[in-house]
Homo-oligomer: A and B are copies of this chain.
Amino acid sequence: MQTSIPKTGIRPNPAGDWPKIDPTAFVDSSAQIMGNVIIGRNVYVGPMSVFRADEIGPDGKVHPVIIEDSTCVQDGVIIHGRSGTVVQIGKDANISHGVVIHGPTTIKNDCFLAIRAVVYDSVLEESVWVGVAANIMRTTIPANTWVPAGAIIRSEQDTLSFRLTNLKEQQYKKDVFDASATLRESYLKLYGG
């Protein structure tokens, strides 16, 4: 057992890949960003989150965890991929407190994942809304779908009765997005980023 790992959250994986984090992003000092993780412009990463790309695939490489521009990731979010799989989160997405995302997974632009949602081996098309504590497994969710809180989604069958997001939800999403952008700016200023 080791006890001497340097106490920084941004660190390489066993294949030697270091995270690539855009200078305009803000990553809280308590977050753990490990290995082949690519974080784009204007991303916010909250306290205690873990992004971990570290399982070496059959091709000898670790596939990436990618967070695209202006996406907000709140506290205690866990993102990990199995060996040989990619996690890609598009632009302008909101990943709330305590979400778990497991690869292979693609979350396209402008999605909103509420508190404690779980997404595993799935695709969320653009502007999907995932309610509090909803669980999505091995399913592609069509664009603009509203997944209710606590839903257990195992296949596309389970999503057929779901409505689309309404104007109120779209406004709420925009408000959260704007607040997160302000937060990122203010933390960059606080810490001289």
Contact = CB atoms under 8 A, between A and B. Distances in A.
Interface class of chain A by DSSP: loop
Contact of A30 (B4, B13, B32, B189): B32
Quickly give the copy total for this chain: 3
A97 B78 contact: yes
A186 interface: yes
A48 interface: yes
A3 B8 contact: yes
B149 A150 contact: no
Contact of A47 (B50, B176, B189): B50
A192 interface: yes
A73 interface: no
Contacts of A56: 182, 186
A5 interface: yes
A30 B9 contact: yes
